[in-house]
Amino acid sequence: MQVVLSLRVGGLERVVVDLVNHASDDFRFVVCCLEEPGQWAGEIPPGRGKVVALNKKSGVDWRLIWKIARLARAENVDVIHTHNSTAHFYGAVAARFTKARVLHTEHGKNVGEEARHYRLNYIAERFTDFTVVVSEKNAEIAVAHEGVAPANLKVIPNGIRVDRFASPRHSTGRRIGTVGRLVPEKNYPLLLRATAAIRDADLVFVGDGPLRGQLQKQAGTRASFLGQRADVPDLLAGFDVFVLPSNTEGMSIALLEAMAAGCPIVVTAVGGNVELIRHMQTGLVVPPNDEAALRTAIERLLTDPVLAARLGTAARAVAEKHHSVKAMTERYEELWRRLAA
């Protein structure tokens, strides 16, 4: 059983959908959405798994524990695999009323809510058999703040369908782009400020979220907001620079996709960004929330096409070798088998 808040559009949700759809036929899945099914629920065909929504109430909804336990018993679930702190809390406690073992994956935390996530994971850890994190930074946090024993912890980097991003690149010369949820964690106001003085450049935002109106007001006419798109691989192929200016990250799926597309990349030095992007090897890395440094890095890639091409090619090679869905799924299958046994 995969336990998530929902299958709305997002990096964590993409990982869950890909795990279900690419796992071997040895496994049967139930995807338990605590809230609503979400837009990506339809990507899981009936032959791969069943999606069930529990319609969580706001605040603490104790009914979910019993709902998850009943569902797990009815479906003969061997392993309850939770994703991030809220799902972890409900799923791990529910497992105490079943024969299922608990695997938890921590993908990252929302800015300003870290203490709450620490508390939920700390409580749920008492009922958890093994924990996975997507980056070394998350591993440090799990041990330091959430009571995870190093012996029961493993880093499994996220993977993507690399082959989807093999489109030939079609440069326009000065297109700066980003892909992601329009939420505070991504710090897109910084990107808007940093690019304000860059002349003759197209700035493109792909994705949606609660900050869209605010960002559009800040940008005026100098940026395009495309919303959710199904043609992300083709859009990435046209970005001359991909920028991820986040305040916090686990291991960004959007960044992995930009790497697979061969984009020249600028990221801030937070979370899994610095594990994926090595400065001057696979992209440019700048301090978080440093407007001048971000602007300088973007301008450097726009004006040095040889450097940009070299970094983009190297980033794609890393994505192909280390971050495929196949590699990620095989590592999770090993854990599912061990726990189920």
Which pLDDT value is given to residue 88?
Answer: 98
> What are the extents of the domains in the chain?
2-159+324-340, 162-322
Among residues 41, 51, 52, 48, the alpha carbon closest in space to that of 22 is found at 48
Task: State the Cα–Cα distance between residues 150 and 166, nearest whole angstrom.
Answer: 38
One-letter amino acid of 308: A
Among residues 22, 27, 116, 30, the alpha carbon closest in space to that of 67 is found at 30
Q: Which residues contact 198 (CB under 8 A, 6 or more apart)?
A: 176, 295, 298, 299, 302
Residue with tokens 């009922």: 127
Task: State the Cα–Cα distance between residues 130 and 15, nearest whole angstrom.
Answer: 18
Per-residue pLDDT of 95-106, as tens digits, reads 999 999 999 999
Per-residue pLDDT of 256-300, as tens digits, reads 999 999 999 999 999 999 999 999 999 999 999 999 999 999 999
Are the C-beta atoms of residues 30 and 71 closer than 8 Å to each other?
yes
Among residues 192, 196, 232, 194, the alpha carbon closest in space to that of 212 is found at 192
Task: State the Cα–Cα distance between residues 47 and 219, nearest whole angstrom.
Answer: 45
Residue with tokens 């998530």: 4
Are the C-beta atoms of residues 258 and 236 closer than 8 Å to each other?
yes
Name the superfamily (CATH) of residues 162-322.
Answer: Glycogen Phosphorylase B; (3.40.50.2000)
Which pLDDT value is given to residue 172?
Answer: 79
Shared fold status for 2-159+324-340 and 162-322: yes
**Does position 179 have pLDDT exceeding 80, yes or no?**
yes
Within a 10 A sphere around the Cβ of 99, how many other Cβ atoms? Answer: 10
pTM of the model: 0.88
Name the superfamily (CATH) of residues 2-159+324-340.
Answer: Glycogen Phosphorylase B; (3.40.50.2000)
**Does position 43 have pLDDT exceeding 80, yes or no?**
yes
DSSP bridge partners of 106: 133
- Return the H-helix or E-strand segment holding 58: none
Which pLDDT value is given to residue 114?
Answer: 87
Q: How many Cα atoms sit within 13 Å of 327 on the Cβ side?
A: 15
Q: Going along the chain, which residue ranges are E strands?
A: 2-4, 29-33, 49-53, 79-83, 101-106, 130-133, 153-155, 175-179, 202-206, 223-225, 241-244, 265-268, 284-286
Per-residue pLDDT of 157-173, as tens digits, reads 999 999 999 889 988 78
One-letter amino acid of 121: N
- Burial category of 2 from C-beta neighbours within 10 Å (exposed 0-12, middle 13-18, buried 19 and up): buried
**Helices 253-260/11-22 angle, 10° precision:** 70
One-letter amino acid of 181: R
Per-residue pLDDT of 212-247, as tens digits, reads 999 999 999 999 999 999 999 999 999 999 999 999
Would you call 26 helix, strand, or coil by DSSP? coil
